[in-house]
Amino acid sequence: MRARALLLVASICACSGIRADVEYDHAVDFRRFHTYSWGAFDGGSSPAIDRRIIAAVDAQLMKNGLVRVERRGDLEVRLRASVDPAYEVIAWEHGRGPRWLGMPDDVEVRRESIGAIQVDLLDRVSQQRAWRGLGVGTVSTDASLEECGARIDESARKLFRSFPPRGK
């Protein structure tokens, strides 16, 4: 059985409409993990944003008592981030013209980007996933690097707020 908790997670530089899930293996005793090291990383934005995501995840893991080591940590962190184009269509009716035609008075098409971030923590010994956090949301393309960094930091705090799971 997996626990699913809705958490507000900003992915990359998300500004609204965030959906996030956290799941973990209830059989894993998270108290036995003391160190972590980075494994696979699949970035999806820019090198500066990717570095900021890694730093935000590092900060949260360290805040929760884990120590980063270069190799062979108790946990292996794998991260995948992506940004993909999407479109939002908005139609308005202003009461002009016959409604039975089924046509809106005004239509606006907005181009957006959808950002996703997935953080997996694997037990190094068993190579089984112990924990996963996943966030998906719209991405602000006009945010400054500082604004993006602040949102990434806040997102990581919210993603890891119930880490480690208290079940064991």
Each domain of the chain, given as residue ranges in start order, spans: 5-89+108-159
* 65-69, 99-103, 145-149, range with the lowest pLDDT: 99-103
- Look-up of token digits 């956090």: 133
Q: Are 160 and 64 in contact (CB under 8 A)?
A: yes
Q: pLDDT tens digit string along 57-78?
A: 999 999 999 999 999 999 999 9
- Look-up of token digits 């699949």: 42
Which numeric CATH code is attached to 5-89+108-159?
3.30.160.670
Task: Name the pTM for this structure.
Answer: 0.72
> What is residue 13's predicted lDDT score, i.e. its pLDDT?
44
Q: Could you tell me which residue, 5 or 11, shows the higher pLDDT?
A: 11
Q: Are 133 and 159 in contact (CB under 8 A)?
A: yes
The mean pLDDT of the chain is 77
> What is residue 148's predicted lDDT score, i.e. its pLDDT?
76
Distance between CA 9 and CA 7 in Å, rounded? 6
Our CA angle for 25, 8, 89, nearest 5°, is 120
